Structure 1
């Protein structure tokens, strides 16, 4: 059994990450990884394994996005018919990679891949995209989107961090969704990507359930609260907050990788 202070720390971490993920449409796993990798050991005096961190990130994502999806559903922000294929391809990617690749990831690979996703995400967000003057080819746009979602699903299954932030510029500037609709879509998709990654990990026994569920409870609370807050926050503030979060994470992980190498 975990100590009471550990239980409270995990729930609070989950709450913070759930708020961030549901307000920004992504970022819970991006935030929970450095919190569990650096902050948790300093508070508790115990380091965590890669498998514990990734399983916790997956359950946190499932709980927080699940709660937020319920709120987005009642707000009628999710265009279900248009995103079903993205959900399908992302789920297939997360299931396959979680089953066959996740157990072979060590600390160096974990942090390196995490850093790569964070840098690419920040780069995408800083590019001054402009909406094209002509309408994009709908079929090609769908194929590219499904391929990108499959890649994000694979990454999620391996390290518990999917980089759903990468899909946001694509949906906003290519598919012409509003930022708030895009956030609802990525939140909805995140439910299934994390769920199928968790299902694939169950036979191997790599899920640390007690630890992960405590984080998930906090994420669930944050996910329920966040949609009401996001409706009151301008898109520009959402984007600035997201970029600031990513920059802090990148700097922290670079320092850690240098020390490992």
Structure 2
């Protein structure tokens, strides 16, 4: 197993601990490109790694009273339903070979990675440019919250992304949660969504438990480091730097899968 992969696994946890999201954005590329795991398998592994790591990270926020349980229920129910439907029905329905043009063959694995790359680019923009909307300008909108929950659940189910970069703005802007409470609530929601998605994936996959547990352990060490650093460093200051890194990674994946493969 690659030492570079182990180092990247630590940063999966550090990202979750510092900014409450971004872990899955690192997890899938790490598994695919550094450990040579197939994209479909990588999405399932990502759900487990990010789910367990987020659950561990959420404990410190829970002890500090920085998790809003009502928000977790409002967001969590539609998200979990969407994860179940996506992993059980939508993902298996995608054909292994989608289309071919000459020597170019678009496969299911390629589609998942390209979708993931597009998501990375969207996430990078939100990290680099997004500004928090003043609380006085926000309306509490249940239909929009329901839509956000379903959307995040579909993304989690398809590509193993916890959706923290989408959850935190929604929790702050739609539910008016303070930033630290939004981060803690996001970690709880990521763990619920991700572990639910993994459970629904188990019947379809052969799991390498030794490998999966070792990477998960390293990511847990990372989130403990990140949670400690969050008391010293404001995660918001690091988001733009992380956003530029995610942007470069997203562009690289698109180029690799379409032009360099």
Give the TM-score normalised by structure 2.
0.84
Write out aligned runs for 1:3-22 (5 A): 6=1, 11-22=6-17
Write out aligned runs for 1:51-90 (5 A): 51-90=40-79
- Change beyond 3 A, Cα 1:110–1:232: same
Q: List gaps (5 residues or longer) in structure 1.
A: 1-5, 41-46
Partner residue of 1:203?
Answer: 203
SS of match in other structure, 2:259: helix
The alignment status of 1:91 with 2:85, answered yes or no, reads no
Shift of 1:9: 6.2
Q: List gaps (5 residues or longer) in structure 2.
A: 97-107
Shift of 1:184: 0.9
Name segments (4+ residues, structure 1) moved above 6 Å: none
Aligned length: 247
SS of match in other structure, 1:86: helix
Shift of 1:25: 0.8
Q: 2:27 aligns with which of 27, 32, 37?
A: 32
The alignment status of 1:239 with 2:239, answered yes or no, reads yes
Partners of 1:63 and 1:208 lie apart in 2 by: 16
SS of match in other structure, 1:101: helix
Do the aligned residues in 1 keep the contact of 2:4 with 2:34 (CA within 8 Å)? no
Shift of 1:233: 1.1
Partners of 2:58 and 2:130 lie apart in 1 by: 28
Partners of 2:156 and 2:198 lie apart in 1 by: 10
Cα RMSD, aligned residues only: 2.4
- Change beyond 3 A, Cα 1:201–1:129: same
Partners of 1:247 and 1:7 lie apart in 2 by: 23
Bigger Cα displacement from structure 2, 104-113 vs 182-191: 104-113
Give the TM-score normalised by structure 1.
0.84
Higher helix share: 1
The alignment status of 1:114 with 2:116, answered yes or no, reads yes
1:123-154 superposed Cα distances (whole Å, 9 cap, x missing partner)? 33314453264451x2xx23212221221111
